[in-house]
């Protein structure tokens, strides 16, 4: 199963609403996670089972979708949110990651 | 506090071998599936493989790119995870992370804790 993220990069301003999509090549129910990675750091879990917010993650992050189409939304982009975001398949081996979406400052 | 600390990285020649370790603390290591994930310089994340827990027979899964060359193992008595890498290629150059799967059900397979990563460079 392949995961395709779009866009691969985007430029946005603080306060903007940002949406990242992840499309699976076949249905994966809700078995998808989202991670945030900052340069030189390990990835950090944001969301699992497509829409469940990991403990401690700000509520401006949300996830939705099931089947083949998923979205990660940041409702109001904050300076600390500039990073690369990855989706990951969780119910079929190999546990593929999407190609990533880099969120940059406009 | 959950901690995962990788060690054993470094420079190795093509065709060589290297063994990475991941020391776990702050949780019941023996209960959890554990993964290795890597990231080549300037590239995205690549899942390498997984070891299940004792209750699930310590069975393993691998990415096609490493199957037959890499072996994942664990020592629950030492709270440690290992990645034995043989027949290394230049394209195996990456930062390698260990990660803890939250649980054993499909709905719990997300990686909720990660190590800081360790660099492996394969070059002559």
The alpha-carbon gap from B48 to the nearest alpha carbon of chain A, in Å, equals 8
Comparing CB atoms, the residue among A37, A44, A95 nearest residue B47 is: A95
Is residue A81 helix, strand or coil?
Answer: helix
**The pLDDT value given to residue B93:** 98
Q: How far is A39 from A80, CA to CA, in rounded Å?
A: 12
| Adjacent-strand bridge partners of B99 | B35, B114
Q: What is the DSSP string of B75-123?
A: EGGGTEEEEEE-S--GGG-EEEEEEEES-SSGGG-SEEEE---EEEEE-
**The pLDDT value given to residue B106:** 86
Is residue A74 helix, strand or coil?
Answer: strand
The alpha-carbon gap from B79 to the nearest alpha carbon of chain A, in Å, equals 21
Rounded CA Rg of chain A: 13
Q: Do A95 and B115 touch (CB under 8 A)?
A: no
Contacts of A86 in chain B (CB under 8 A): 44-45
CA distances from A79 to A12, A15, A72, B52 (A): 10, 9, 17, 38
Cβ-Cβ contacts under 8 Å for A77 (sequence gap 6 or more): A12, A13, A14, A15, A16, A17, A18, A103
Q: Do B45 and A48 touch (CB under 8 A)?
A: no
Q: How far is A73 from A103, CA to CA, in rounded Å?
A: 12
Q: Which of B35, B39, B45 to mutate to probe the A interface, most A CBs <10 Å?
A: B45
Nearest chain B alpha carbon to A54: B112
State pLDDT tens for residues B17-48: 999 999 999 999 999 999 999 999 999 999 99
Per-residue tokens: B37: 């994930």
Per-residue tokens: B14: 């093509």
Q: How far is B89 from B71, CA to CA, in rounded Å?
A: 15
**B50 touches A: beta carbon within 8 Å:** yes
**The pLDDT value given to residue A13:** 96
Q: Which of B43, B111, B112 to mutate to probe the A interface, most A CBs <10 Å?
A: B111
**The pLDDT value given to residue A32:** 98
Longest dimension (CA), chain B: 43
Q: Which residues of chain A have pLDDT under 50?
A: none
Alpha helix locations (H) across A1-106?
none
User: Mean of the pLDDT values across residues B76-83?
Assistant: 98
Length of chain A: 106
Q: Are A76 and A18 in contact (CB under 8 A)?
A: no
Is the model's pLDDT at B107 over the cut of 90?
Answer: no
Q: How far is B20 from A8, CA to CA, in rounded Å?
A: 31
């Amino acid at each position: 199963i392949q995961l395709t993220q779009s866009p691969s990069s985007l430029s946005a301003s603080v306060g903007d609403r940002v949406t990242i999509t992840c499309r699976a090549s076949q249905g994966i129910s809700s078995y998808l996670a989202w991670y945030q990675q900052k340069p030189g750091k390990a990835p950090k879990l944001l969301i699992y089972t497509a829409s469940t917010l990991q403990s401690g993650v700000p509520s401006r992050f949300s996830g939705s979708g099931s089947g083949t189409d998923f979205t990660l939304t940041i409702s109001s982009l904050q300076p600390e949110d500039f990073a690369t975001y990855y989706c990951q398949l969780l119910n079929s081996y190999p546990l593929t990651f999407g190609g990533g979406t880099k969120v940059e400052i406009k | 506090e959950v901690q995962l600390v990788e060690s054993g990285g470094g420079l190795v020649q093509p065709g060589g071998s290297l063994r990475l370790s991941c020391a776990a603390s702050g949780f019941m290591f023996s209960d959890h599936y554990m993964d290795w994930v890597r990231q080549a310089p300037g590239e995205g994340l690549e899942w390498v493989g997984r070891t299940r827990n004792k209750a699930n027979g310590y069975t393993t899964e691998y990415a096609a790119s490493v199957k037959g060359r890499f072996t994942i193992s664990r020592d629950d008595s030492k709270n440690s995870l290992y990645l034995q890498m043989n027949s290394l290629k230049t394209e195996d150059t990456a930062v390698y992370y260990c990660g803890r799967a939250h649980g054993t059900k499909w709905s719990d397979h997300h990686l909720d804790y990660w190590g800081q990563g360790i660099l492996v460079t394969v070059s002559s």
